[in-house]
Amino acid sequence: MAAASENSLEHISNAKRRRLDTNDSRHIAALILARGGSKGIPLKNIKMLAGVPLIGWVIRAALDSGVFHSVWVSTDHDEIERVARAWGAQVHRRSPEVSTDSSSSLDTIREFSRLNPGVDVICNIQATSPCLHPEDLKKAVECITKEGCDSVFSVVRRYPLRWQEVKNEVSQCTEPLNLDPAHRPRRQDWEGELCENGSFYFATKELVEKGLLQGGKMKYFEMKPEYSVDIDIDIDWPVAEQRVLRFGYFGKDKPEVVKLLLCNLSGGLTDGQIYISANGEEMVSINTRDQAGIDMLKKEGVKVILLEKDPIAKALADKLSKRMSCRILQDVDDKLKKVQELMEKKGLEWKEVAYLGNDEPDVKCLELAGLSAVPMDAPTVAHNHAKYICHNAAGHGAVREFAEHILLLKKKAKSQMEQDRICRNTF
């Protein structure tokens, strides 16, 4: 018996129902397949990639595209379900029949379609395509809604020089398949070939019910090569991480506008431990890497304020403030209220704020801040609401790591703005 989807289509929040303004009234759903039994990399779909769970990249792109009535993750694993929900997706709990090593993607998509009769068009988004951007989904869906296509799939332009495979090396020589060896093409003189990159497949319900993802009136959507990242094996991970940091989609808020970092003192800058000397003096330990990270931010015009829930000795607070060259706010019992007061006083919006928290009282600030992070050793409740999860623990380089992340995104955004300016001036 097939497992039922746990959230009915009637319970989709308005925030998740934003769509492109067209006359097409069909329900278009995004479906991300994320089985727990990956043979290559255990639980690959939720492994951290550049501070974000792998499926988090495509869930964010799908939600921010605004073209889907609903965004789903299909899984058979409790932990993947937890991460999917934390990132804003609904969950289709797939049946054991379509969760085996021999099950095809189409088997699962057909099960989802059967259990959700209100869905008219399904977009199968590959979880292992972390450089997917909302704009590509927006443009591709128009082939369905405005041009009447039945299926649309993503491709990338490649330039392979292909040769005939030799199965019997004794009796057969190889032959060229798409080139003349006497006139080898230069890249700039050859249009190349269009190859599926697997990032996404739009298909109508009628096609899916026939066991097809491509058929009827078909169209391809060509993606940029830098956005065509597919993670298959563990050795791809470091390469993919660098590609994502350079070409990935980090959300609607523009990181170049971050003007203020709010950071927890205990559990952020320090590891949360307070040492008491024999004569009763309080002491904490700070990492020079974290101090350097704060200095880097301040050099780029980002102010830093440290927050502390509990009171600490005035002498210690004064020394810390002087050493870190930043303000310390103590007795901050209501983090959200205090941050909103600071923002109002400084005339800032949430998109201009970065926040490093570490526990349940930080959840709302982590959700609302333009950029947010938690140390590696923060509780799960904090992990679930942060936009970036550090590889380093509190008091051991987490602040430095988040500072580098902020500055990298600001540099990337400024570079893109400059490129856009050049393009406008050129054309």
pLDDT of amino acid 250: 84
Angle at 210 between CA 207 and CA 215, to 5 degrees: 40
262 with 353: CB under 8 angstroms? yes
Task: State the greatest distance between any 2 C-alpha atoms of the chain, in Å, as a whole number.
Answer: 89
- How much is the average pLDDT of 178-207? 90
Pick the range with the lowest mean pLDDT from 12-26, 250-264, 359-373.
Answer: 12-26
- Cα torsion through 368, 372, 376, 377, rounded to 10: -40
pLDDT of amino acid 5: 45
Rounded mean pLDDT of the chain? 87
Whole-angstrom distance, CA of residue 342 vs CA of residue 324: 20
- Which residue in the block uniquely carries the two structure tokens 């792998």? 54
Q: Is the overall model pTM greater than 0.85, yes or no?
A: no
- How much is the average pLDDT of 29-34? 97
182 has a pLDDT exceeding 80: yes
pLDDT of amino acid 233: 62
Give the contacts of 213 (CB within 8 A, at least 6 positions apart).
106, 109, 124, 151, 153, 201, 203, 207
Instruction: Grade residue 13 by pLDDT with cuts at 50, 70 and 90.
Output: very low
26 with 121: CB under 8 angstroms? yes
Six token digits for residue 256: 């170049």
Residues serving a catalytic function are: 184
Q: Is 97 helix (H, G, I), strand (E, B) or coil?
A: helix
Q: Is 53 helix (H, G, I), strand (E, B) or coil?
A: strand
φ, ψ for residue 223, nearest 5 deg: -95, 155
33 has a pLDDT exceeding 60: yes
Whole-angstrom distance, CA of residue 117 vs CA of residue 341: 48
Instruction: Grade residue 173 by pLDDT with cuts at 50, 70 and 90.
Output: confident
8 has a pLDDT exceeding 50: no
